[in-house]
Amino acid sequence: MLRESLRYPLGGDGAAERIIVGGGLHVVTAFVPLVPLILVFGYLVRVLDHVGDGPAAFRDGTPPGFGDWRALVVDGVKATLVILCYVAGPLVVLLVTLGGASELSPETLAGTASIAVLAGSTAALLAALGVAYLLPAALAGYARERRLRAAFDRSLLRTTATDARYFVAVVAAAGLLSVAAVLSSLGAPRSVPRFVGFFLLFYAEVAAAALVGRVLGESVPAGENVPAGRTEAG
C-alpha cells in the first residue's frame, strides 16, 4: 500500500503539471504566507475524497486535478477551519503555561512552580500528539461529506483512532512528511536548488494523504453514514 501511495502523485498524464502547481504554491507561500496553503489544503481534501473510494482510485492511477478553483478555495478554507479548531486546544494550554511561567521569578521557577510548568508543557505536548493523530481522520471525514460537522464526528474518530491500520498509516505518513520537510529545508542533495524541495514536499503531502485516505476508505466504506449531498460545498 505504501508503494502505491508513493506512485499515486505521479499517476496520469498531468502528473508534472500537478506537481508544478502544488510545489509552486509552496514557493509562493514563502512570500505570501497562508493564502497559497489554503489552495494546497483544498487540493489535499480533494485527494482524500478521491482515494476514499478505495482500491479503485489507485487502479485508476490518476489523481484529481486543480480544476474548479472556486471549489478548491472553499474546501481549503473549511479545511483550514478544521485544522484551527483542532490545534486551538493544545495551543491555549501551551500559551497559558508559557504565560504563567513568564510571570514567575527564577527563584519561584526553581521550586514547586516548575512542576506546574512541566505538567502544563507535558499536557500541551500530549494534546498536540492527539490532535496530530486524529486530524487526518477529521479532514477525511470532511472530504467525504463536504460538511464541517463531519470533521468532528465522534463515531468516525473513535472508529479510526482504535484502528491498527490507521495507526500504521498515520505513522508512515508522518515519517514521509518529516523526511520531505528535512530534505526541502536542507535543499538536499546539495547540487539541487533549494526551491526544488517545495515540490518534493507537495509530492510527499499528496502521497501521505493518499495513504491515510485509502486506509480510511477501506475502514469506513464510501457511502456509509454519508448523506446524499456529500459533494456539496455546504
- pLDDT tens-digit map of 15-30: 999 999 999 999 898 8
pLDDT of residue 216: 87
Low-confidence ranges of the chain (pLDDT < 70): 54-60, 93-121, 124, 186-194, 220-234
Instruction: Say which DSSP state 33 is in.
Output: -
| pTM for the structure as a whole | 0.81
From the list 167, 162, 164, 176, the residue with the least C-alpha distance to 209 is 176
Tens-digit pLDDT profile for residues 86-126: 988 777 766 666 555 555 445 554 555 566 656 666 776 78
Distances (CA, A) of 74 to 11, 34, 43: 25, 15, 10
Name the grid cell of 79: 479545511
- Supply the DSSP string of 91-156, one letter for each residue: HHHHHHHHHHHHTS-HHHHTTTHHHHHHHHHHHHHHHHHHHHHHHHHHHHHHHHH--GGGGG-HHH
